[in-house]
Structure 1
Amino acid sequence: MIIIIGAGLSGLLTAYRLKTAGIPFKVLEARTRLGGRINTVYGTDTTPIEMGATWFGDYHKHLITLLEELGIGYFEQYMEGTVFFQPFSTSPAQSIQIPSQPPSYRISGGSCNLIDTLYQQLDKNDVLLNQTVTDIKFGKNSVQIKANDIFEGSHVILALPPKLWSKKIQFEPSLPSNLSNIAQHTHTWMEDSIKVALSYAEPFWRQEHLSGTLFSNTGPVTEFYDHCNHDTSTYALCGFINSSFKHLDEGDRQAKVMAQLKAVFGSKAESFIDYKECIWSNEKHTFTASDTPLFPHQNNGNPIFSQSFYEGRLLISSAESASVFPGYMDGAVHVANVTAKKIIDETY
């Protein structure tokens, strides 16, 4: 029995590969939902809104290959029309021309479509929610995992951010000091991000030949994009807020966001259906405080994460541990494939 801790993209894909190979497993997830940092929520008009991982490019070959394998479509991010830039708080937003860039894509039906499709391939009894792992004990020939229940297996796979497991799980025997030190100083991608999105009855920005794109040095919104769904039947704008605004209460933060959007896009921006936001530093199953400040992607893809430990019974499989595009969906896919192959090769 393989115990996989974390039901995000890397954990569920690892499970899917093991199931295909006929290897028994259990996935333990602390949250009440699947997906980890993939978190699609739905407004009152069923508009899919991405509060987590959203975009990818042609260079993300592992993710694209998986989408094609599973028959999941994707579509190009809408960027047609005027782009706005706010250089200073004292000056209005100005229209700019951005250089031609390779396209970005989004997953049809929302990023959660990938998570849901993987989950549908698994036995529901093998994926357990509300299981917060607190202790992992390595015996002579087995591994015991203490969560809300007790589980025992031959191997354990850590499919969650390294900083999280290094700080919140007790290991017996203790983790090797070099692994523990690097893991505690590994930045968790998106842990400081605030996502915000608004859904609308009409795509007023498109009707006014605007792309819906805003870049701002002043905030609260720092980046904003068109967020209509793949068949342009629901309409939204989505982006990021400067993380310093997390200290405001939600009402004050929303008021500042709306004042900025009205100044940039006009009064129609106020006529939203839903306002959604996610402060990732409030997500205890993603964020844990760092002992020292970390720079973005610090120690992501560190070679130590590709090693196995405890005589090969502990493996690491999360986006941050990937050797390619660590922290991103593509990295999560790559490392899941690699980790599953290690288990399958050892088994057969």
Structure 2
Amino acid sequence: MPKQTQIDADVVIVGAGLSGMIAARTVLAAGLTPVVLEADERVGGRILTEEVIPGVPVELGAQWIGDTHERMFRLAAELGVETYPQFDDGETSYDLVGSGVLRESEFHARFAEELAELERVLRRLDELATEVPVDAPWSAPEAAQWDSITAGAWYDAQGLSQVARTLLEICTVGILAVPTAEVSFLHLLFTIQTCGVTSELFAESEGGAQTTRFVGGTVEIPRRLAALIADRIMLKVPVQLIEHSADSVTVHCRGGLIARGRRVIVAISPTLAGRIMYDPPLPGMRDQLTQRVPNGSAMKAFFVYDEPFWRTDGFNGQLISDVGPARMSNDTCIPGDNHGVILMFLEGEQARSFGRLPEEDRRAALTAELVRHYGGKAAHPEFYVDGEWSDRQWTRGCYNANLGPHVWTAYGPALSAPIGVIHWASTDTATYWSAYMEGAVDAGERAAREVVVALTD
């Protein structure tokens, strides 16, 4: 039997992702003592930066913040992490519904009417989303109707052309990381409402969600947060059981560590939170919820070249395609470094299917796609790396949890409401920019405020 070790704190926090560490910092600032228990060997959760070659960090996890991500800009400034704008000069390359590869100007000229259709539907989504209260989506006037259909079914009913419908699917899967046939239409509207409008969700230029990156990599944010509370973080201690009473918690970890406190914040995705045992058991409503909020499926693949040759040809490094394997890409070069870096996204079904292939086959298929869009130079990268999040033991998917039909209306109140001394925090529970780093900060701060109020009143 492993030897037991006990640690005491006011607040036990499960998970050293962004929500968990923000919660810990907030609790500490209020004069309470936190302890953070992390199953993985690193901090950061769904943030993961790897330096493939010196000076070239690539973001296998969260990468961007957007212009309205005020909490993240403020946090970066507080931690001394500098930012820089996402490169966006040049044209996007398209290959949709048999069009062949077209430059952005050609695509827009050929499909102007179809793009106008798409814009009409996006504006309608914005209008409907305003009727969804972010703190209680199930109370929207049409919640029952919207939650009974999928986002894909609603899209299909809009009479869109094939081009417009395909673009809408690609953009939405790029946000949710699941096919639209798997997610509730109410959940889509909730996501839009937490982020403002569709233009902020889908745009990559000014006003969008992917306008800004971090010098040194996104990992600088959790790394510097961890440094502030380093003596209160325990790594490689998977939580197995949370015993709770009216005024205390005892958290049991694999390996014999026991953490005792007055409150616990479970700062991991609802799916993973549902895999912890609780004594006494949680209400059935909460358990039923966690059986119905799967994480998305996402893979990122990076190609590193000796130079960003696509820029010379007037491209911005972004492609949009239904041919695949990747549906979208980005130029992710590092300012001040001469290498060219292209990131290719495989999300939803693409991540699931191509994630099962041997890496050499996946790389070959992605290389062929880049060659179609950017020419023969794309066939000869200096380095390649990819990663699929559902394979990661302590994450089991990205970017976020998605609610299918009837989940919000039947189980929504159980998503973030505390259960006695147990509180919940992760970007999946946020009411502002849910599924983004901004949402993770929002959720961590909210859960910490709940605890501070409970323990200091």
TM-score > 0.5 by shorter chain: yes
Q: Which runs of 5+ in 1 are unaligned?
A: none
Aligned length: 336
Deviation, structure 1 residue 4: 0.6
How many angstroms apart in 2 are the aligned matches of 1:341 and 1:139? 20
More helix per residue: 1 or 2?
2
> Residues 1-348 of structure 1: matches in 2 within 5 Å?
1=9, 2-88=11-97, 92-97=100-105, 102-103=207-208, 104-122=211-229, 124-139=230-245, 141-148=247-254, 149-166=257-274, 168-188=275-295, 191-241=296-346, 242-243=350-351, 244-287=353-396, 295=404, 299=408, 302-310=412-420, 313-348=421-456
- Is the 8 Å Cα contact of residues 185 and 299 (structure 1) preserved in structure 2? no
**Poorly superposed stretches of 4+, deviation over 6 Å:** none
Give the C-alpha shift of residue 235 in structure 1. 3.3
Paired with 1:335 and 1:14, the residues of 2 have a C-alpha distance of 8
- Report the AA paired with residue 254 of structure 1: R
Q: 5+ unaligned residues in a row in structure 2: which ranges?
A: 1-8, 109-202
Distance 2:246 2:444 in 1: 26
Q: Is the 8 A contact 1:109 1:230 kept in 2?
A: no
Q: Secondary structure at the match of 1:152?
A: strand
Equivalent residues of 2:247, 2:263 under 8 A apart: no
CA contact (8 A) 1:186 1:299 kept: no
1:302, 1:321 within 8 Å by CA — same for their partners in 2?
A: no
Q: CA deviation at 1:197?
A: 0.9
TM-score normalised over the length of structure 1: 0.89
Q: Is the contact made by 2:68 and 2:207 (CA closer than 8 Å) also made in structure 1?
A: no
1:182 Cα offset (Å) = 1.8
Moved more, 329-338 or 90-99: 90-99
Identity %: 30
1:92 partner amino acid? G
Post-superposition Cα deviations, 1:38-75, rounded to whole Å, max 9, x if no partner, equal 11111123311011111221122222232233332222
Q: Deviations over 1:260-317 (max 9, x none)?
A: 11221112112322211111111121127xxxx9549x7599443332112xx10001
SS in 2 for 1:185: coil
Does the C-alpha gap of structure 1 residues 221 and 262 become closer, same or farther in structure 2, counting only changes over 3 Å? same
Local SS of the residue matching 1:277: strand
Give the 3 Å change call, closer, same or farther, for CA 101–52 of structure 1 in structure 2. Answer: same
| Distance in 1 separating the partners of 2:70 and 2:273 | 28
Question: Using the alignment, how far apart are the partners of 1:295 and 1:231 within structure 2?
Answer: 44
Shift in alpha-carbon separation, 1:235–1:119, aligned structure 2, 3 A? farther
Taking structure 2 as the reference length, the TM-score comes to 0.69
Is the 2:428–2:434 Cα contact (8 Å) retained in structure 1? yes
User: How far off its partner does 1:340 sit?
Assistant: 1.6
Q: Aligned partners of 2:28 and 2:339: how far apart in 1?
A: 36
- Whole-angstrom distance in 2 between the partners of 1:266 and 1:183: 46
